[in-house]
Amino acid sequence: MQGLQSLFLGAIDEERQRVANRRGVLTGGAKLVAGGAAALAVAGSPALTKLVAAQDFESDVDVLNYALTLEHLEYAFYRDGLEGFSADDFDEGVYDNLILVRDHEGDHVDTLVSVITDLGGEPVEEAEYDFGYDDAAGFLGVAAALENTGVSAYDGAGASIESPDLLTAAGTIVAVEARHASYLNLINGEDPFPAAFESPLSPDEVLEIAGPFIVQ
């Protein structure tokens, strides 16, 4: 997993340096998922065991707050970012789909906040972020990286959920994240489904990836 993480972190750095470079930005997501087959290998492989063992959430609320942290990041990214663009900045149809993605992330945030509250937990709040893009191409590159990371994060955390209902609920979100990732890869000129398996990431790995976006 370490190799995979380094690969992705490197790709993110590279990506942020290349925000001005149209259409060249997505490699992060693609590289991330390229390791997926290896990560799955066969259930029971030491790598997967280690991955699963690395989860140290103390409750389902912890897992949900972890998910909420990422959903906040995503929603803020689209909500604020799309205000700076119009349909003309993208290929035909793309802007409308980005609006849809934004609304999905907003729904995910609202739902997670509500469920965490119902469970007696304290929902984490939105932070301040710096996504480091400065044009539409850069925006699309970061969008793809976020969505691909989101899928890996949910896949890595799923096994920590103890309630079947909450697991199913998380499953209904991760599939939509994967749909977003596929589409965003595609419009970035990348492979929508780069490997036969997703690549689960541990919370530590995800935080290292997402951390640079969080300024406060």
Residues making contact with another protein (CB under 8 A) = 36-37, 39-40, 42-44, 48-49, 51-52, 97, 100-101, 103-104, 107-108, 111, 151, 154-156, 158-159, 161-162, 164-165, 167-169, 171-183, 186, 191-193, 195-200
Least spacing, CB of residue 53 vs another protein, in Å: 9
Asked if residues 28 and 12 have their Cβ atoms less than 8 Å apart, the reply is: yes
Query: In the complex with another protein, which residue's Cβ is closer, 21 or 193?
Result: 193
Cβ atoms within 10 Å, residue 166:
17
Q: What are phi and psi of 129, to 5 degrees?
A: -130, 155
Phi, psi of 81 (to 5 degrees): -65, -45
Q: Which is nearer to another protein, 19 or 210 (CB)?
A: 210
Beta carbon nearer to another protein, 19 or 176:
176
Query: Shortest approach of another protein to residue 179 CB, angstroms?
Result: 4
> Considering the complex, what minimum distance in angstroms separates the CB of residue 91 from another protein?
13
Q: How far apart are CA 174 and CA 147, in angstroms?
A: 10
Both tokens of 37, joined, read: 């087959």
In whole angstroms, the minimum distance from the beta carbon of 193 to another protein comes to 4
Contact 12, 27 (CB under 8 A): no
Judged by beta carbon, residue 146 or residue 174, the one nearer another protein is 174
Q: Which is nearer to another protein, 16 or 180 (CB)?
A: 180
Shortest reach from residue 215's CB to another protein, in Å: 27
- 33 contacts 194 by C-beta, under 8 angstroms: yes
User: What is the spatial distance between Cα 1 and Cα 202, in angstroms, rounded to a whole number?
Assistant: 9
